[in-house]
Amino acid sequence: MSTTGPLTPGQVDQFNRDGFLVVNNLLSPAEIAAYIEHQSKPRPKEWNLGLQCHKADPMIKRLANHPNILSIVRQLVGGRARIVQSMPLDKAPAGGKGIPLHQDTHYLPCEPNTLMACWIAVTDTDAGNGGFCVVPASHKRGLHPTHWSQDPTQREEFETTYTMRDRAGKEWQVPMKRFEIDNLRQQDILPLTIPKGGGVFFHGMIIHGSFANPSPDRIRRAWAVHYVHEKTWLLRTDVQDAVMAEM
């Protein structure tokens, strides 16, 4: 198993300042190989729970609770955490679509807002194969105004309606599509280079996403999991049964 120590005070300060932090060697080459092999095989139907696969699929559960990841998550959220959702993020060569730059809190509102994520590079990732992008320090400026995504050549689209429920039990409906940030300047977007087995931890308010994969032959494989502090209230009813993360 790959091992990494706790974050230094300087790294924590960097995360708080920039809204993200790249950490190498979160997963070992053997763990990466095991994940790729696992994803290539058919799995029992009962494991296929969409963004909740960490509740049933033993490989996804193991990664979502990986000590190298979870120890850092606990440092950054200030205590025990719950797993909100997890997802594979593979992107085929020659145009595999990206995800519009957005803030996760638009999709996963919570109180207080302790939402954060870890995005793991399963292959070497960079701008040349549609790697991860951020707008540094954008988490400090609140929720940015948005519009619906308008470029289907670059972006995977979706449209759904979520039920929200507050702590008092009041419910309401919120329609959602792919968000894009208004007036986002290209010069503010920072493409990250993340080696295989490394990852980026990022705040739920940071603007982030990715572009289509322009490489003719380099697949971009990645995997992400979202966490909140154990006492955070998630407003979306479909994730209110988020499970406790355990090392």
Report all structural domains of the chain as residue ranges with CATH numbers, in order of start.
Answer: 9-244 (2.60.120.620)
Distances (CA, A) of 243 to 9, 70, 88: 29, 13, 19
How far is it, in rounded angstroms, from Cα 209 to Cα 220?
Answer: 14
The model's pLDDT over 39-91, given as tens digits with 9 standing for 90+, comes to 999 999 999 999 999 999 999 999 999 999 999 999 999 999 999 999 999 99
The pLDDT value given to residue 159: 85
In the β-sheet with 132-135, what is the strand arrangement from edge to edge? 99-102, 207-210, 132-135, 190-191
How far is it, in rounded angstroms, from Cα 150 to Cα 169?
Answer: 35
The model's pLDDT over 164-213, given as tens digits with 9 standing for 90+, comes to 999 999 999 999 988 889 999 999 999 999 999 999 999 999 999 999 99
Cα angle 220, 221, 227; round to 5: 125
pTM score over 0.75:
yes
